[in-house]
A and B are shown apart, each in its own frame.
Chain A
């Protein structure tokens, strides 16, 4: 019964998915609204459960491990999913496939859980695919929109290619070590060129998921085309999950080869920050803008990852939390506006402050947090990221990272400028915010304002990482 105890969240999640399936197949006559509320309550229960559980250990050989850190990471993902689900309300309400939406969404969440807990490359791969393929389907959920299909197509093709590359890399690792287990691998790694090649392939596979440059090109297109909730899920939850795994795999499994991957990560970080920023600078569309902004954020995370220390892990996890709140706040506002008016261009946000002060300030809060301005949590997040990266003493790199924050600031301020300073005769009309999105926004705001100023979150993560 160890399994029941350790895999409690996963089992509940699976049960939930199956219940949804039964409800769909049984043609249950409940409205979308009811179902959403039920799912949200369920997700909240899952989150609460995650905080209440304490058990640590492994089952299925080494295929499934769990401990407090992993549970925290899962909770973060659950929280993200919960917020997105709350925000998705207005989009989903009229959707004829709401049940399937949740079915797929929860499957990806389950996939992420399995991926996080994976003890070997096989489970990792399965989890990764499980958290990717349904999203591709989700991206197509604006069924009658060509943009949506196109996004889904780009997503599935890129991810197929990326998983091909990843598998190719895994096969070489398997070939040179004879093991796929994370536990055994470190001892078997020799650092032969073939292994290094495999690691680079692996990093590329990860890089694709977290959209590091040059593996990022799918990101913006997919974000723009996919429905808003899917985009925010992609950019926050799915990325977060892969980041968690990336950090732990890179440090724990390939830690001994850090001298090799350090250079690779630094290169990726530089390219990612620069390209992300430069492209974000010229975006006209809110989703594309957020896509590139998230790419540049990944660049900063890579700075921390290059450090290769416990601080790096802590900073990364912390930043993912901060980023979750900030980005979801931004997506939440954008989603509300998009739903109410269909406007997704940045120029449409002109004069938003006049008509919708709450939305404008929420967006500003989110943007400032993303830009790394105190007292928002983003400031702390970015500070710690770069601090973690500075441990290596590669100061030119750190200077480059610091300078990139200026460009980042430029485009975040541009949107603030549009919302607050530019005047227009036809601002977006007054939008009423339903209860659930309002609650979600409030959650995000609280997260943005409190996570950094109070050090509890960081300290807690650090205690777990150590």
Chain B
């Protein structure tokens, strides 16, 4: 990533006033701000988005799954995740998948080190917020029935076994599998959204459906909080996407604009589809569309045009709607808050459309078939390969992690009575509202 970054930077040299390896205050300001923005997405944005959609008896448990996952995943990231993801492995065959343990506890990194034009310490924190939101996304599929202890064990293992290697493969620099292949994933369509969304589905199937699903009415505690969460996600996502330009540069400007366009178009699209299909547009629908649009544009954000952003956003919303309304009913899995339906599917759509729609502009593109030889079909095949590899790794890794966590905690699922009474009261001894 650093290498790619430097390459990118080089293009702008005539524009920027600094030479490589110097700290640029504007880039540093933007990357620190981006870190704070992405941080906000999990314990505030996603937690409210998910918490609001949960039945009132499980709201605090849902919030705790997100917030607890966040703090644990950050710790895991510092201890070893960063090293596996962004370290360099001496063995070339291992380097395809793992960065090794050279930077465990950030060993070998000093506060004066730079990643391009800003401190590596900031890069570490920025990437840590990505690691943490990814596993938190998965929680949405399994709320209301999983033991909190099992979930915590899953979070710890998954960060090391699934997230870090996938990040390494895609963004790990020279020698990393999909990085070398030239996969385009601007801000984490594969790494974050497909990954987290698919992990959610796998866990949902393994842990089983909530009692009474889908017969029993499972009404959301507060759509208002869900909508507020979606708004905070949108806000934070500017750090996610425009921050993935690794500086306050023109590419960040592209990501900022395409993110705005795709998201607005997606929110509108979901609303309109609902209006046609169910005769009523819902606030939950607008919020869902917004998130689907944000997910879809993530891999494409720095690569596509204004028109491309519209296509990615609208399509992300259509496919998300299909995932949530049609697919889930068809296959009868209980992807409770639609981590799979929205994050995986819209992330997949975005990752593939990045191959189709990426501007053939040498200054924007990353290394890959499209940049090197204008080979769009080849680029699309690389995108296909990358979604395939990521999906496979996530699938296998998540199954393994689940069974270990389940064994360690004496079964992954709460008993029927606990589920009936609600996890807030039984697992946490708290109640969502005391009027």
**A and B are interacting partners:** no
CB within 8 Å of A: which residues of B? none
CB within 8 Å of B: which residues of A? none
